[in-house]
Amino acid sequence: MTARDISPLQKAFYDVIFGTETPAGKWFDIILIVAIVASVIIVMLDSIWNLHTEWGWLFWQIEWVFTVLFTVEYLVRIWCSPNRKAYVLSVYGVVDLLAILPTYVALVFPQAASLLIVRLLRILRIFRVLRLLAFLNEANILAGALRRSTRKIFVFFSMMMIITVIFGCLLYVVEGPESGFDNIPISIYWAIVTITTVGYGDVVPLTALGRAISATGMLIGYAIIAVPTGIITAELASGLRGNHLTTRNCSQCSRAGHDLDARYCKYCGSDLPPLSRDGE
């Protein structure tokens, strides 16, 4: 990533738009969140037929105000980036573009109105602001727990996939083709709806045997709801426990991560400084 030299003016804009340390940067972020949420709400309201027929022209005008604002913001972001190409091609750069493009496209090709829904991707932009604000640490703990659990969750999902296929097929065979379980994909859809305990009730077993098998499946699903929960919890708990380690650094090798009851450095064997009172 090759950074360009940027002028002081660009640097100032950069600090406000990309940064969060300065008061101006904070205000910019807050205003941006408000604008994003407002524009998303407008898109949602516009999808309601009654409101669209009555207030559609107003929504359209407000939408253009937001689009112009976001366009200006996007251009300024490009202009003040030290590395323009990296920004434009980054995930956030693409989301920023997708947030404004559909409105222009709909202007040129009115028949592409369904593209307007893409504007709702604007909501992803909130992530950027949150990321910059103070929630980095919490999100990191969560993300760390999820990342460390990836393989366990993969194993779990494979298991669940196989369970839903088996129960779906069982019900497909038992219930027969006339009672909602018309084909195997629908039966698997039913199995997922059931095992996740969503339970819409749009496809439902009607025979005695089908109900008995379903009930078994529910109890199994109920038991294995514990598995992903337990995985993440255990990971989170061990992540938190990590937080409970002292931040004492060994005076010889400077490494941290010593248990509360450690008296000697576990890496180099030299004495550790005594525990200060703030260790809970």
Closer to a second copy at the Cβ: 12 or 141?
A: 141
In the complex, minimum distance from the CB of residue 6 to a second copy, in angstroms, rounded to a whole number: 32
Nearest approach, Cβ of 14 to a second copy (angstroms)? Answer: 25
For the bound state, the minimum distance from the C-beta of residue 84 to a second copy, rounded and expressed in Å, comes to 27
By beta-carbon proximity to a second copy, the closer residue of 85 and 197 is: 197
H-helix segments, the chain? 8-17, 23-46, 49-80, 84-89, 91-98, 101-108, 123-132, 136-148, 150-175, 184-195, 208-224, 226-244
- List C-alpha distances in Å: 103 to 40, 97, 109, 135, 259: 13, 11, 10, 32, 57
9 binds a second copy (CB under 8 A): no
How remote is the C-alpha of 140 from its chain's centroid? 12
117: three-class secondary structure by DSSP: helix
Least distance (Å) between residue 137 CB and a second copy: 8
Q: Which of residues 195-254 bind a second copy (CB under 8 A)?
A: 196-202, 204, 208, 211-212, 214-215, 218-219, 221-223, 225-242, 244, 247, 254
Size of the site for a second copy (CB under 8 A): 109
> What does the per-residue mask of binding to a second copy show for 159-188, with x meaning CB under 8 A?
-xxx--xx--x--xx---x----xxxxx-x
DSSP state of 245: S
Return the residues of window 124-143 that contact a second copy according to CB under 8 A.
124, 126-127, 130, 134-135, 138-139, 141-142
Minimal CA–CA distance to 66: which of 44, 85, 39?
Answer: 39
Pair of tokens at residue 278: 């703030």
Site residues for a second copy, 33-92, by CB under 8 A, read 40, 43-45, 47-49
